[in-house]
A and B are shown apart, each in its own frame.
Chain A
């Protein structure tokens, strides 16, 4: 009985113990808060990255093989092979190219398309040709189209038919084909529904040398903006323009039908990689892939899962999370070390008490337990308070951030940067349990040394200490 009773008294009597408790509190609290936010970010980023990427991407390498043969370029055949797999929920062909765009009417320097970007009113963009119905099955374009724009009303008139001419668009003469632009691009260029833009590109198969001789080898064409889309990825919204695939192919001189096929699986987590490998083999057998392999890993490079593509980014976030956890556990370690120091001091200071307790019948094990109990109270108070505070902060991070931003007048979390409308935080009860347990184990391990010393102390040495 005396162990818990006396340890509590010693804890209250020695103010320095609170340093250890506060240390553990801060370490545990910070660890829970920051890991929760990191977990939230990882989840949100995964969602955002995944949204625009579909599950699998088949990107045939159209270069001539060493033996002179060429890959068959036929999107219909690729789609047929892919859709034959029962685990596939949908597949769509995309044609992706690059170009420069300018707002029509400000194109006075179109002859300078390759001049310094600073002086030209052009912007490099990714041109993506899609088949709307197929695309809706494989990516989250439909959601991106339906999502409320952050600025102005630039949504397409009909999400189901996004390439329909914008309402009220009735120019004299031939109507321009429609495109959909990223919301941020529209905002930067003050585009609205019905704005006319002009796009310049170097079609496939045209070399820079040819353009040097004759700039008319480059293509340019005007389009009308039918509306905008908003994904949760900044890059996408800043530099992507969607076309109907047929329209883009025509613009590129019919030299290219598609560059990639997006595939959505019914259950990606279960059979994503299996589908990837099997589809790759079938496409190779049908001569629809070149069979290019990575020089580094020897893997086929033409069929990838979305995680293969963004592996580095996701790995980086996960890596940051682990690094952060390690660094924060150092805080707990320092706190535990503080307790080690305080307890060591206490054992020296309480030598006389140890001797008295021995004389009154305490065993060495009991004395040791007494000092371990002090560390136990430290850990209990610190870790419990830390867990409660950390969890509470993680759950209330949004209002807290808003309040802080308002009070100090600096926006702490810029929602435009991440395109999240809140700070994502996921409190994982298992992680909280591990952190609390870790703090306990750490503290008790560190406390064991002084406690052991106290237990081994000779009662007489302790009593003579007067």
Chain B
């Protein structure tokens, strides 16, 4: 199952690894319609480090979920490597999530039944069928271990999430997100649940990987200090993009 190459529908998006066009989203609660997003556009180039900021209720989480193909927009389209993602059939969209997108969540979201290595292997298990996976199992395990060792978890490889500290868990989650080498990583407040020292270490790790792999990293954060380290800051308010640019120059 791989995404079949399709002609790019909009020329503007062809050079971008991730594009959103005129995204609107409204929820209906009872007989009231709640508009969360009012036509949001965003283009992310390969290797770009972007932070997405905004007050609670600005719609950034919803926007992130739409970009991550977890929630469908009411109108508008998301293009991943030039292909219209929401027009794909469910299976292909799942395959795009699997291979093109890496997720890091605020609450780690590891599976408690699996140890660290197995959690990292999960995307590969989803990607490969039984036969293919068992054929490559040894190599895949080696890679997962190597990645965890690189993240400083050499003594935690066989530990379950419940036996790991918050920072360790987030590092496992990071390894999981990066395991299939996706071009895009979406991180939703990855340090929001960690103390500042641990958070700093995890962030260092994430930014180092971003540079090394030339990742497109979209970082949702409340923390201005983190935003300051990004090439580009997108600020949202009331379901619209409020400002978008390199804020480092201003200082």
Residues of A within 8 A of B (CB): 1-2, 4-6, 9-10, 13, 352-353, 355-366, 459-460, 463, 466
Contact = CB atoms under 8 A, between A and B. Distances in A.
A359 B95 CA distance: 10
Of B103, B105, B125, B133, most A-chain CB atoms within 10 Å: B125
B97 A359 contact: yes
28 contacts: A1-B132, A2-B125, A2-B126, A6-B114, A6-B125, A9-B113, A9-B114, A355-B109, A356-B111, A358-B70, A358-B94, A359-B68, A359-B103, A360-B98, A361-B95, A361-B97, A361-B99, A361-B126, A362-B126, A363-B91, A365-B91, A366-B94, A366-B126, A460-B70, A460-B71, A463-B70, A463-B109, A466-B107
Closest CB pairs A-B (n = 5): A361-B98, A2-B125, A1-B133, A363-B94, A9-B113
B173 to A, nearest CB: 10
A365 B95 CA distance: 13
Contacts of A2: 122, 125-126
B90 interface: yes
A466 B61 CA distance: 15
B65 A4 contact: no
Nearest to A13: B113
Interface residues of B, number: 32
Given A359-B70, A366-B94, 12 more contacts: A1-B134, A9-B113, A355-B109, A358-B70, A358-B94, A359-B97, A360-B126, A362-B126, A363-B91, A459-B70, A463-B109, A466-B107
B123 A361 contact: yes
Contacts of A359: 68, 70, 97, 103, 109
B130 A362 contact: no
Contacts of A361: 94-99, 123, 126-127
Nearest to B99: A361
Nearest to A2: B125
B7 interface: no
Nearest to B137: A1
Contacts of B125: 1-2, 5-6
A356 B94 contact: no
Interface of B: 65, 68, 70-71, 90-91, 94-99, 103, 105, 107, 109-111, 113-114, 122-123, 125-130, 132-134, 176
B111 A353 contact: yes
If over half of B's interface residues share one DSSP class (helix, strand or loop), that class is named, otherwise mixed; here it is helix
B103 A360 contact: yes
Given A1-B130, A9-B114, A352 B70 contact: no
If over half of A's interface residues share one DSSP class (helix, strand or loop), that class is named, otherwise mixed; here it is helix
B126 A352 contact: no
A322 to B, nearest CB: 42
B158 to A, nearest CB: 14
A15 to B, nearest CB: 13
Contacts of B129: 1
Of A356, A357, A364, A459, most B-chain CB atoms within 10 Å: A356
Given A2-B126, A363-B90, A356 B113 contact: no
A1 B98 CA distance: 14
Contacts of B133: 1
Contacts of B127: 361
A331 B70 CA distance: 42
Contacts of B99: 361
Nearest to B173: A356
Given A1-B133, A5-B125, A362 B94 contact: yes
Contacts of A463: 70, 105, 109
A4 to B, nearest CB: 7
B118 to A, nearest CB: 8
Contacts of B123: 360-361
Contact of A364 (B90, B96, B103, B122): B90
A358 B90 CA distance: 11
A10 to B, nearest CB: 6
A6 B122 CA distance: 9
Nearest to A458: B71
A229 to B, nearest CB: 67
Nearest to A14: B113
Contacts of A6: 111, 113-114, 125
